[in-house]
Structure formats: structure tokens, C-alpha cells
Amino acid sequence: MLKTIEVNNIRCEGCANTITKALQKEGFTELKVDFSCEPRKVTVDIKDEASEAHFRTILRKLGYPLCDEEMSFGSAATFKAKSFVSCAVGKFNIKDDIK
């Protein structure tokens, strides 16, 4: 079932590229990352609760927590730092894909 989820820290195409590649690698399909409006949204095919939990884990590891998650100031800063690195990696991968 397609599910659209609001996600924090997505800023640009680099972020979207990193998220898309990570989720595709883990077998998620029908992906769409919308970073054109606030809040940013990721639409993905979620089959069950286990796949939703796995989806959340992947995004958190990349520095993109879901908007419905409560977190401390320290956690928020850590996620922002992780997402900054993920974004940069995504931008480099976009340039590699163009070549």
C-alpha cells in the first residue's frame, strides 16, 4: 500500500537521491521524495508494520527522522549533522550519474 510520510531535514535533490537509493537498495518500490513544499514528504510502498519500521530505521540512519517523532535538542542536532553528510553524498552521486 502506498503511504506518504512527512520527513524532517530533507532540503534538496541530494537528500532525495540519497533516500531513494538507500530505500531501493533495501527493496522498497514506488518511491517519490517531494522536497518542493513543507513539510517534505516521502511516498513509498509499505507492505506491513515490519516494512514501515524498517523504512523508519533507514531514514533515521541517514539523518531523516519522521515529523511525528519527538526528540531532544541533542538528537535533533545529531540528525541534522547526519542529514548534511547524506545530502553531500547524494549530490556527489547525482554528478556521477550524469557522467
pLDDT tens-place string over residues 17-57: 999 999 999 999 889 999 888 889 999 999 899 999 999 99
Looking at residue 42, its amino acid is: V
- Domain 2-98 fold is Alpha-Beta Plaits (3.30.70)
Predicted model pTM = 0.85
User: For residue 86, which of 35, 14, 37, 25 has the smallest C-alpha distance?
Assistant: 14
Q: Where are the beta strands (DSSP E) in 1-99?
A: 2-7, 32-34, 40-45
pLDDT tens profile 47-94 = 899 999 999 999 999 999 999 888 888 888 999 998 988 888 888 876
Longest CA–CA separation in the chain, Å: 41
In the three-class reduction of DSSP (H, G, I as helix; E, B as strand; rest coil), residue 43 is classed as strand
Where do the structural domains in the chain lie, given as residue ranges?
2-98
Q: Are 78 and 8 in contact (CB under 8 A)?
A: no
